[in-house]
Structures are given as C-alpha cells and as structure tokens.
Structure 1
Amino acid sequence: MTNAENSNETNAGFVDLSPSPSSLIESLRDIGYSLETAVADVIDNSITALSTSIDVRFSWNDSTPWLAIIDDGHGMNGAELISAMRFGSMSPLLTRSKNDLGRFGLGLKTASFSQCRCLTVLSKKQGEISCCQWDLDSILKSEDNKWLLRILATEELKQFDLLNSLSSKYLDSYDSGTIVLWNAIDRIDAGADLEIKESKFNEVLCSVRSHLELVFHRFISPDSGQSKVQFRFNNDELEAFDPFNSFKSTERPCADFKCEGQNIHVQPYVLPRFSRVSKSEWKKYEGQLGYLS
C-alpha cells in the first residue's frame, strides 16, 4: 500500500469544516442588496411581527451615519433574539404562516451587513429587554475564528446613548417592539469629500422613502377590512404610492388561477392616456423605465 493510500484510509470519516465567520460574512455583504431593498427586507420582519407602527430613523451624524428601523410588533425575548441573530435561523423547508414574509432566515443579517458593519438589535417582550450585536470588525480581529455574538447587558445598554435614546422615545411607550440599528454604514459610495458624501446620503435616503411608499403601499393605505400600518420616515408620515393609479386607470377583466394549491387573484389595469392626467401625474407614474414601459 502506498503512503497516499494509507493516508486516505487513516483520515476516512468526517471532519468539521465550519465556515470562517469573517470570510463568509464579507462574502454575504455582496449578495446584491441596495439600500432601498435592504431597508425593505428588514421592514418585512416588522410586518411579519404584526406591527401597526414602523419608524425609519436616520442621521448623517457628522460623517458617521446611522439608520434604525423601529416597530411595535410582538418583540422577542432573549432566547428568541439570539435565534433571530443566527445565520439561517429558520429552514426554508418549514411551513410558514401566510403573514410571514421571510424565507431563508437570512434577511435581517444579510440585508443589514450589505449596508453596515455593526448590527445591533434591541427587543422588548413582556417587559423584558434583550439586546444583541454583530460587529464585523470584532469578528475580523477574533483569533479563535468563532461566531461570537455579543450580548449587551443592562449596564452596557446605559452607555449606548443612541440606542438608549431610541428605546426611551419608542419602546418605553410600546408593550412590545424591536429596534434594528445600523452603525458603521459604509456602502454609500461617494468618494472622499464629506460634503459630497452627505449629499449622496440624503439623496439615497430620498430614494429609500420612495421605494417604501411603493413597496408597502397596500399596508400604508389598505383595502377595506385590512389593517393599516403607519410608516414614519424621520417622523414624517409616508404616503402610499399606488403604481396602478387605480382611481383613473381602467380595470380589465380579472383572472384567477391556482399556484401550489393557493388561489391567485389578478386584477389588471390600463393606465390612463396622457390627455387624462396632468404632467405631474404622468411624471409620478412613469417609474424608472418611462410611462409607456
């Protein structure tokens, strides 16, 4: 028997090949999110948690920008929060409730890390406050190459001024809820000039606002019998953007079909012609590809 054959026989079996935390997370940062879709993905969790009020707060903060998504949903206790911070927290093979907008148990983490290097989540449930943090820079510096999630104790939270302020303003008045805070936002590329960076930050946040008004328009302005969700963007209430312009568009015959045992109802619309809308409406409803497209 050759030495190579002997080596293969000796090493037969299984070996633990847990992925390198720093390498995997850095790779996941480039999964394809924009700031608009990342914020919307985190808000999906708030919708799933049956929130009735969702606030998006942000600040340029003298060139160290932060963004927070705050809801009054059902919240999480300590064990639930730790589970939610796990990558792949829920198998996509499990049956989800019809209100669950998640799929792979990755959205909170991948959406957040696509935009920031420090993710902190504080949640309140039945009077219990729990807080956890993933810090990419701390993971990079770790010598043992382990997935070390930081659990913030009550005394540590008292030193976290921003999180403390947000918690006092919102969660103190909620029976339950969650704050998702992004620090070290580093994916808004605008060169080295701080004034240009701030301008770009504000420009992108305006785009985020428009995206949320479109994507969640049926929650902001629901159909009769459906629950309304109040959205605020730095304390300014969002207005639903109905891309179908339903009040002026022409309804076409409905179509119904089944998909994986579920009934799908489709209501087509034909947008009004130029003569039936103002120039501002035409501009508003044309989207990125133009009105006719």
Structure 2
Amino acid sequence: MAVRRSWFDAPPSAARLTGSLRDIGYDFPTAVADLVDNSISAGAQRVGVELVFDPNNSYVLIWDDGTGMGPTGLLEALRFGSRREYNRNELGRFGLGLKTGSFSQCRRLTVVSRTAPKQPNIHVRTLDLDFIERVDSWSVLADEESDAVEHAKRILSDGPGTVVAWENLDRVLPDRYAESGWGRRRLSTLAKKTGEHLGMVFHRFITGSHGATPVAISVNGDKLEAWDPFATSERHTQTLPREVFEIESDEGSADIIFTGYVLPPRDQFSSPERFERMSGPLKWNRQQGLYIYRANRLVQFGGWNGLRGIDEHTKLARASIDFDTDLDETFQINVAKMSVVLPATLKNMLERPIHDLCVRADAAYRQAASASEERRKPARTTSAEGVALREIGIALKAAVLESSDLAGFKDALATFKARHPDLSKSLGL
C-alpha cells in the first residue's frame, strides 16, 4: 500500500543564503581559475583576465572567445545550482563556481555574452547582492549598464564569446582603499599572483600537452608561460615509467595514472634562473610531492597527502596523479576544486611507487651534495675514496628499486647501520 505524503515548499532566503555562500574558501587567483574552467568548457581558444583600476569604480573582467550563451543559457548559468548536465571530463561540476567564485570577491556579477558570429546581438544579465538583499529574491537583472559592461561589449565586438564582470569589489578593494595608491598596487600584485596561479593550474592547456586542447591565457595583456612542475624540458630530469591503478567507484571501475619525476639538482639545471623558477610558489621543500590532475586541470600541488613527511633529501621528488571526472565522488572534489582526498585503497597502492621515487630523489640529492662538498674541499688523496664510497651507497639504494623483497632489504640495511655506523655514514645510507 502506497504511503501518501504531504509537503510544503520552503525556499531559502535569497538574502541570507547568498551572503553565506561568499565564504566557501576561495582567494582571488582560485576564484579566477574557477571561471577559466567555464571558458575552457565553452571551447575557448583565448582567455583573458583584466584588472582595471579606476578610483571608486574598479572592476575585473574574465573574457573568452568561446561559443557564448543566449538569454536562456545566461539565466541558467546564473542560477545557484545550475540544472545543466556536465559531460565527462568537463571542468565544471556543481553549477556553483561562477556564482560562488565571483561573490567571494565582489557584490555585483554581470555576464555579457554573444553567440552569433555575424550578428552583434549581445546579452547582459546581472546578479547584484545589494538588490537581492533588498528584495530577498533570486532575481536576475537584465541589460544593466556600467563602465565594466561597456568594456565587455567592446571585447565582444569582433565575435562570439563571454565576458564575466566583477564590480563592487568589496573583498578585493575595501572602500577606504578604493581610490588610493594602495588600491592600485593591490590590483597589480593580484594580477601577478593570478598569472602565476593560472600558469600552474592550466599548464597542460597552455602547452597543449597530455591531449588537452591548447588555450592561450593572458593577464592584463601579458600572455602566460606554462609552469610545468616536472621540468620535463630539462635534459637531466628523470621520468619514471608511468603506473596505472584501477579503482572501483559507483560508476564502475576507472584508471588512475601515476608518474614519478626526479628533478635535477641546481648544478644540473640549464640555468640558475630556471632552477629558481622551478622552486614554485611554495619553494622546493613544500613543492615536493603529489600533483593531482582532474581531467588535465591541476587541483592540488605539493605535499604527500599523509603518505610521508616533507624531507629536505627528497625535495627533488614530484609525481603526477591523473584521474577523470568519473571519480569526482571518490576523490571528494570540493566546490572550489582546490583540494582532494585520496581514497584509502589508492593510498595503499601508492606506497611502493612513492617509496621508489623518493629513494631515487634522495640519491640524486646526496650525489649532488657530495659533489658540491668535494669541490669546496682542498684536493687530497682520500677525497676520491670518499666519493667512491658514496657512489657505492647510491648504487646500493638504486638496487632497492630492482629488488622484489623490499622488506628484507630494509631489515638488512638496519642491521648494517647498527654494526657499522661509520661505514654506513660514509656510504651515505
């Protein structure tokens, strides 16, 4: 017998909910990156970010030359929790990023879009938090006008695309700084940080590697250079064979690809400047570890996700983990696409390849340190013997990688250290 149910609609207060959604956890660069995801999904070949300082009227534009949206598409894009379906490996996920990313930085969001290549029909739709709070309704304003909107229309005068305008930048430029020199410097600093972040997060798209469709990205007119965390263009970078692990999910089984890299020490880089650039925003020690990609988009960079600790001797070790959007639930991707949680089954699978990678990185680090130390020492006959011993130690460590009995080797090594501590130190073990 069917149970009869009754219910009432209880829509949330627009004024209160939009306010709370401003604090999901974005900073300025990650908010911009979430909008660039939408541009790439729209088939854009060019994406631009412009931070325009104008006393008491500054604004930010994120534009692309993608397919654009008509009035219906614009309205759906501005809905909190869009009803649209996402294709496999499309960078969007929850239908919230455009709104939550934007309102984390501003109070007025306008989307300006054009779809027809020959007819300059431009559609303008706006979400204004001040208006929403006043009427307490999920209201979208049509055909609003402002300096930012006029700028957006000029960008779209040549063809289809979309421009997102952020105005009333209360989180970026508080009122007391809106017309000051500090405000101008603030936007300049954010432009630099945003360029660095986008060059890292979308480096595969900028270079067109790993099957990603090439996209040219610029910030304030400056074309971004990709920041490849693995320095694959460097001659002395070691690339380990990739490994494929199968993971079960609600959608069925899916593959995860692990590839380890040992970056060269300073004296083996093509230039000191290149070595410094590859240290990354967190610098060498904290940039070691896992770089996790969702559909070629970097969502986490650096750290070992609890699998091991940060160590000076393994700072040259970095590894990529690639998964498709089929595994979003498994990796617990958050709205801002800034963090993931490695499933327990995958952590178990990764222990061996990460250990192998770190052994190689440790050997490369110690070999470079020994060579540097010997160069600083006055010449003497015993130095050659010391170098030879350390090279033997490195060879022993490398042999671990070929051993099928890793646990047995580690036990033997511990016994050797206990009985011959001085020799063990000379071998670099």
Number of aligned residues: 270
Which of 61, 64, 86 is the equivalent residue of 2:57?
64
The superposition leaves residues 59-88 of structure 1 with CA deviations (integer Å, 9 ceiling, x where unpaired) of: 111243211111111111111110111000
Q: What letter corresponds to residue 77 of structure 1 in structure 2?
A: G
2:208 aligns with: 222
The superposition leaves residues 209-253 of structure 1 with CA deviations (integer Å, 9 ceiling, x where unpaired) of: 100111111111112865321112122211111111112221012
Give yes or no for the alignment of 1:184 onto 2:172. Answer: no
1:8 aligns with: none
- Structure 1 window deviating more from structure 2 (80-89 vs 261-270): it is 261-270
Give yes or no for the alignment of 1:283 onto 2:292. Answer: no
1:112 aligns with: 102
Alignment of 1:1-293 (within 5 A): 13-90=6-83, 96-126=86-116, 127=119, 128-142=121-135, 145-152=136-143, 159-168=145-154, 170-174=155-159, 176-188=160-172, 192-193=176-177, 194-223=180-209, 226-248=212-234, 249-259=237-247, 260=249, 261-277=253-269, 278-293=271-286
TM-score relative to the length of structure 1: 0.85
Q: CA deviation at 1:187?
A: 1.2
- Contact in 1 for aligned 2:191/2:220 (Cα 8 Å): no
Q: CA deviation at 1:282?
A: 2.8
Q: List gaps (5 residues or longer) in structure 2.
A: 287-429
Q: What letter corresponds to residue 245 of structure 2 in structure 1?
A: F
- Structure 1 window deviating more from structure 2 (82-91 vs 32-41): it is 82-91
Match of 1:201, SS? helix
Match of 2:107, SS? strand
Q: CA deviation at 1:31?
A: 0.7
TM-score relative to the length of structure 2: 0.59
**Identity level (%):** 36
Aligned-partner Cα distance in 2 for 1:192–1:57:
22
2:297 aligns with: none
- Structure 1 window deviating more from structure 2 (276-285 vs 59-68): it is 276-285
Aligned-partner Cα distance in 1 for 2:104–2:48:
20
- Contact in 2 for aligned 1:245/1:271 (Cα 8 Å): yes
Aligned-partner Cα distance in 1 for 2:242–2:103:
41
Q: What letter corresponds to residue 177 of structure 1 in structure 2?
A: G
- Say if 1:216 and 1:82 are closer, same or farther in 2 by CA, change over 3 A: same
The superposition leaves residues 167-214 of structure 1 with CA deviations (integer Å, 9 ceiling, x where unpaired) of: 22x32212x211100001111367945222332222122101100111
**Quick one: higher RCO (CA 8 Å, sep 6+), 1 or 2?**
1
- Say if 1:190 and 1:273 are closer, same or farther in 2 by CA, change over 3 A: farther
Q: CA deviation at 1:119?
A: 0.2
1:5 aligns with: none
Q: List gaps (5 residues or longer) in structure 1.
A: 1-11
Aligned-partner Cα distance in 2 for 1:234–1:286:
25
Aligned-partner Cα distance in 1 for 2:173–2:140:
28
Give 4+ residue runs of structure 1 displaced > 6 Å after superposition: none
- Say if 1:189 and 1:162 are closer, same or farther in 2 by CA, change over 3 A: closer
- Contact in 2 for aligned 1:282/1:291 (Cα 8 Å): no
2:315 aligns with: none
Match of 2:127, SS? strand
Match of 2:255, SS? strand
- Contact in 2 for aligned 1:90/1:104 (Cα 8 Å): no
1:9 aligns with: none
Aligned-partner Cα distance in 2 for 1:46–1:216:
12
